[in-house]
Amino acid sequence: MLRVLLPVLLLAVGLVLSVVSERPLPRADLVVNNGSDISTLDLQRMSWSMDLRGARVLFEGLVANDQFTWGFDIKPGVAERWELSDDALTYTFHLRENALWSNGEPLTAHDFVFSWRRALLPDLAADYVALFQLIDGSVEFYDWRTEALAEFADNWSGSDDAAARAQAARELWALTETKFDDMVGVHALDDRTLEVRVVRPVPYFLDLCAFATFFPVYPPLVSQYDQLDTKTGRMIAEAGWTKPPELVSNGPFRLTRWRFKRDMRFEKNEHWWNADSVAIDSMSLVSISDPNAQVLAFQTGAVEFLADVTAAYRREMYAKKRSFYDEHRSEYESLLAQGYDQYEIDRNLPDDPRKHAHFVPAFGTYWYNFNCKPKLPDGRPNPFADARVRRAFAMTIDKKAIVEEVRGFGEPTANTLIPRDSIGGYTSPKGLKCLSDAATEAERQAIATEARALLAEAGYPDPSQFITVELLFNKDSGHDLIGQAIAKNWNKYLGVPTRLMQREIKVFRDDLKNTNFMTSRAGWYGDYGDPTTFLDLSRKDDGNNDRKYHTAEFEGLLDEANLETDPARRMALLSRAETIIMERDLPMVPLFHYVHTYMFDASKLGGPNAHPRTKQWMGGFDILGDGKGPDVAPAMPLRPIVQSLGRLDGAAP
């Protein structure tokens, strides 16, 4: 297949080479493929992995994660130190004296207040608003603003007095700023001291502060692009401030060029407080969306680092990698016994192109959504609103066949949303049985019979008369092959008609957010090290609850866990909550836990980490042997999470 595509791919790589070497700018020190183009650099609005990756190049939060510790430990960022009150409710952050914006202006505690207020405005409709609502008074402020906007619409919708309406909108905004200061527990005590009061003890709050949506934006610039809509009273956030040369950031790099669907250029930010630790002067983030062209770009030297390899022949790459380790078995086992991560092992083994593909167990899960709303988008009654129907369809998916025959690069099947053994102190539920649990065809048919009985109980005794089930997915990355496998399972074991609905990524995202689907592919990488990073996705009001699932029992368990101060009891409550959605209600059906695939030469590039959180901090990347930077590429000792998710060589741990 690759030979047939070779002329096209060579042309694509040639275009990439022309992009990264276009005059007058010289080629960057490091060229990284980000996959799809970044959709936004508005920190409080982003949620996609490629956007978050770009944010970590340009910005920094109060704290950061130490990516070379298995606990993803918290270390200082903009804040050089902090204190937590005895009741675990009030954080006091002390910002560095040398914390600056990329234009040289001081970064202050007021900048965080401004940024977090943006995230809490219903006007912005941020996907991650629920995370900010852990702050005391934030829910009340959000509700007040929502009601105030509704009242504004009622009072002024029929008015022809534009001047009076505009004045009323300005007064409402001034009141909103005052209300935020009065109601929400975020205060700048002075330029260098930020006080944050949370509504309850939040064991993972510092981890959230290291998450990109909590990073600060530069108020003087962003405010220039905020437009008050005098017709609705809403503050409209325009994106012009995110483009170069306007963008002002506070991280290791600054943005100097952004060409849509082509590339982004970053230069070292000399004003960053830790600029001396940055070992490269420039970086290009290119957008090569074709999976085959991505790999060829690496092989031809057009790109040094592939952030997410999705080529259909990943399984062949995986097999070759295993063969490489088999050929160097004794050295491999010796390095593994010393606790080296995969990159350090590859750095010490003989040079071989096969070692440049890296398969890393990830803190993430791939699943299929079920639309849980009473009506489908076209107004028809939705059979998937019934949990029995969802269980029947979930039971009749052969996950093992998907990971072994469709995927083929070591991903474990998933019966739970949260990867097993990935969070200390958390016990995963068993999960719903499915075709993958059957050893024989007779056992598979028995599971299918039970599933059809559930359909009959729900009012569908003849599956052939069931509505045509649509499977929504986006192009590329093998989603079509997974959809085909699921459709075959449902045809064979349930006897229901199916239709594959492939969409371009932008259309797919819009359909997902608008619940314009019956079933759809989805996935999630945990944002922080707590079960709620997955479980909150199914809360009624969460911005990522694309399924529109809601039950009082599930919400109640999460609410109870939020108030529980005993860690063991808290984890038990969260496990019960996951049991509900994974064994009874099935708003989504997990298929497998991700194994993330990178491509880079570990003997030439230092800095990437092999942590399952898969959050690369590219400000720490280092071209080894170039005479710049420390040329240090720290190893990360293995721990049971990697063993439980499966060793690359397939051997028993």
Bond prior to 24 in cis (omega within 30° of 0): yes
Averaged pLDDT, 626-641 = 58
Average model confidence (pLDDT) across the chain: 90
Averaged pLDDT, 119-130 = 92
Q: Which residue has the higher pLDDT, 134 or 1?
A: 134
Q: Report if residue 650 sits inside a domain.
A: no
User: Given a cut of 70, is residue 20 above it in pLDDT?
Assistant: no
pLDDT on residue 628: 75
Domain finish residue from 211, 242, 273: 242
Q: Report if residue 395 sits inside a domain.
A: yes
pLDDT on residue 109: 98
Bridge partners (DSSP) of residue 75 are: 64
CATH number of the structural domain spanning residue 73: 3.90.76.10
Clarify whether residues 385 and 458 are in a common domain: yes
How far apart, in whole angstroms, are the C-alpha atoms of residue 618 and residue 620? Answer: 5
Clarify whether residues 423 and 483 are in a common domain: yes
**Phi (first) and psi of residue 555, to 5 degrees:** -60, -40
Q: Report if residue 651 sits inside a domain.
A: no
Q: How far, CA to CA in Å, does 583 sit from each of 91, 120, 137?
A: 38, 34, 35
3-state secondary structure of 595: strand
User: Given a cut of 80, is residue 19 above it in pLDDT?
Assistant: no
Between the ranges 109-118, 400-409, 501-510, where is the mean pLDDT highest? 109-118
Clarify whether residues 90 and 232 are in a common domain: yes
Averaged pLDDT, 407-412 = 89
pLDDT per residue over 571-620, tens digit each?
Answer: 999 999 999 999 999 999 999 999 989 999 999 999 998 888 888 889 99
User: Given a cut of 60, is residue 209 above it in pLDDT?
Assistant: yes
Clarify whether residues 199 and 76 are in a common domain: yes
Clarify whether residues 475 and 575 are in a common domain: yes
44 band by pLDDT with thresholds 50, 70 and 90: very high
SS3 content of the chain, % helix, strand, coil (to 5): 40, 15, 40
Clarify whether residues 367 and 291 are in a common domain: no
Q: How far, CA to CA in Å, does 155 sit from each of 150, 204, 222, 227?
A: 9, 42, 29, 21
pLDDT on residue 337: 84
pLDDT on residue 264: 94
How far apart, in whole angstroms, are the C-alpha atoms of residue 149 and residue 311? Answer: 47
Q: Which residue has the higher pLDDT, 211 or 641?
A: 211
Averaged pLDDT, 524-531 = 90
CATH number of the structural domain spanning residue 540: 3.10.105.10
Clarify whether residues 578 and 606 are in a common domain: no
- Domain span at 33: 2-37+247-353+596-645
pLDDT on residue 543: 82
Q: Report if residue 653 sits inside a domain.
A: no
Averaged pLDDT, 190-210 = 96
Q: Report if residue 312 sits inside a domain.
A: yes
Least confident of 100-104, 336-340, 369-373, 477-481: 336-340
Clarify whether residues 501 and 398 are in a common domain: yes
The total domain count for the chain is 3
CATH number of the structural domain spanning residue 604: 3.40.190.10
Averaged pLDDT, 261-278 = 95
pLDDT on residue 636: 55
User: Given a cut of 90, is residue 415 above it in pLDDT?
Assistant: yes
Clarify whether residues 199 and 121 are in a common domain: yes
Q: Report if residue 130 sits inside a domain.
A: yes
Sign of CA dihedral 520, 389, 431, 649: negative
pLDDT on residue 270: 97
User: Given a cut of 50, is residue 647 above it in pLDDT?
Assistant: no
Least confident of 67-76, 396-405, 439-448, 570-579: 67-76
Domain finish residue from 577, 594, 611: 594
Averaged pLDDT, 206-233 = 96
User: Given a cut of 80, is residue 233 above it in pLDDT?
Assistant: yes
In the structure encoding, which two tokens stand for residue 282, read together? 């420039």
Q: Report if residue 158 sits inside a domain.
A: yes
User: Given a cut of 50, is residue 646 above it in pLDDT?
Assistant: no
Q: Report if residue 565 sits inside a domain.
A: yes
Averaged pLDDT, 618-642 = 67
Query: 3-state secondary structure string, 275-305?
Result: HHHCCCCEEEEECCCCHHHHHHHHHCCCCCE
pLDDT on residue 446: 97
Least confident of 6-10, 65-69, 424-428, 487-491: 6-10
Clarify whether residues 166 and 304 are in a common domain: no
Q: Which residue has the higher pLDDT, 195 or 636?
A: 195
3-state secondary structure of 196: strand
Clarify whether residues 99 and 158 are in a common domain: yes
Clarify whether residues 346 and 263 are in a common domain: yes
User: Given a cut of 60, is residue 3 above it in pLDDT?
Assistant: no
User: Given a cut of 90, is residue 361 above it in pLDDT?
Assistant: no
* Identity of the residue numbered 235: M
pLDDT on residue 289: 85
Q: Which residue has the higher pLDDT, 614 or 144?
A: 144
* H or E stretch covering 401: helix 399-401
pLDDT per residue over 533-579, tens digit each?
Answer: 999 999 998 888 999 999 999 999 999 999 998 999 999 999 999 99
The DSSP 8-state label assigned to residue 349 in this structure reads: S
Domain finish residue from 242, 260, 277: 242
4 band by pLDDT with thresholds 50, 70 and 90: very low
How far apart, in whole angstroms, are the C-alpha atoms of residue 288 and residue 295? Answer: 10
